[in-house]
A and B are shown apart, each in its own frame.
Chain A
Amino acid sequence: SQQGEEDPQALSIQEGENATMNCSYKTSINNLQWYRQNSGRGLVHLILIRSNEREKHSGRLRVTLDTSKKSSSLLITASRAADTASYFCATEVGGSQGNLIFGKGTKLSVKP
């Protein structure tokens, strides 16, 4: 079964609006990462948040982590058409060196 699941599956907004995507997971984690994938391309790392952190910022990105609810959110502020992509959360399951488990992603469409 999927460790991380993003919500919503698809999101369509206008340029300039904020986009919020959520990720829920099932078991305890060491860290949670967010990746972006443009159509036909490989995944690109956006941000990593460790289990002892609650919030992290990178440019227009803001990630929160609530380990008590086993959930994370990715906020993109002042969205641009170039932000159109699929966004994935990935969790490192405790005790595993390499096993990063990806959700199925949120497909974001930003209309100019």
Chain B
Amino acid sequence: DAGVIQSPRHEVTEMGQEVTLRCKPISGHDYLFWYRQTMMRGLELLIYFNNNVPIDDSGMPEDRFSAKMPNASFSTLKIQPSEPRDSAVYFCASSLSGARDTQYFGPGTRLTVL
């Protein structure tokens, strides 16, 4: 298995632009998670899905952030409009049984908003 795939690996954009991050979870995993990692705040859970349905989006910082999972093999995290404080590494992870199980992380997308 190729593991969790994220794209792009690096994204540099200007403030106000729309940013879309993509994730392909491991086949057969029912849970998908989006995390954000910064030096100041560490690793934060933004949102997670179970069987393509958003379960908990309480970690999404603002309405500028949105996430979708149209099918079991694809999810997007969108930021519109982006701001410099959104600069971080965004990770996608998937697992069989949520927090009771191993989570498999993708390589991350390093986002820089100028």
Interface residues of chain A, those whose CB is within 8 Å of chain B, are 2, 30-31, 33, 35, 41-45, 48, 88, 92-93, 96-105
The secondary-structure label for the interface of chain A is: strand
- Given the known interface contacts A30-B100, A31-B100, A42-B105, the answer about A98 and B43 at a Cβ–Cβ threshold of 8 Å is no
Binary contact track B83-109/A, C-beta < 8 Å → 1, others 0: 000000001010000111111111110
State which of B4, B43, B56, B104 has its C-beta within 8 Å of the C-beta of A99.
B56
Interface size class of B (residues with CB under 8 A): 20 to 34
State which of B42, B45, B50, B102 has its C-beta within 8 Å of the C-beta of A97.
B50
Interface residues of chain B, those whose CB is within 8 Å of chain A, are 4, 31, 33, 42-43, 45, 48, 50, 55-56, 91, 93, 98-108
- B47 nearest in chain A by CB position: A98
Q: Determine if A43 and B91 form an interchain contact, defined as CB atoms under 8 angstroms apart.
A: yes
State which of B48, B102, B108 has its C-beta within 8 Å of the C-beta of A33.
B102
Known interface pairs A31-B100, A92-B99; 11 further A-B residue pairs with C-beta atoms within 8 A, sorted by A's residue number? A35-B105, A41-B107, A41-B108, A42-B106, A43-B91, A44-B105, A45-B103, A92-B100, A99-B56, A101-B45, A104-B42
Complex Cα gap A30–B99 (Å): 9
- Given the known interface contacts A41-B107, A44-B105, the answer about A102 and B42 at a Cβ–Cβ threshold of 8 Å is yes
Q: Determine if B102 and A103 form an interchain contact, defined as CB atoms under 8 angstroms apart.
A: no
State which of B4, B45, B104, B108 has its C-beta within 8 Å of the C-beta of A100.
B45
Q: Which residues of B contact A99 (CB under 8 A)?
A: 45, 48, 56, 99
Complex Cα gap A62–B53 (Å): 37
Query: Which 6 residue pairs are nearest across A and B when measured between Cβ atoms?
Result: A42-B105, A92-B99, A98-B48, A104-B42, A102-B43, A97-B98
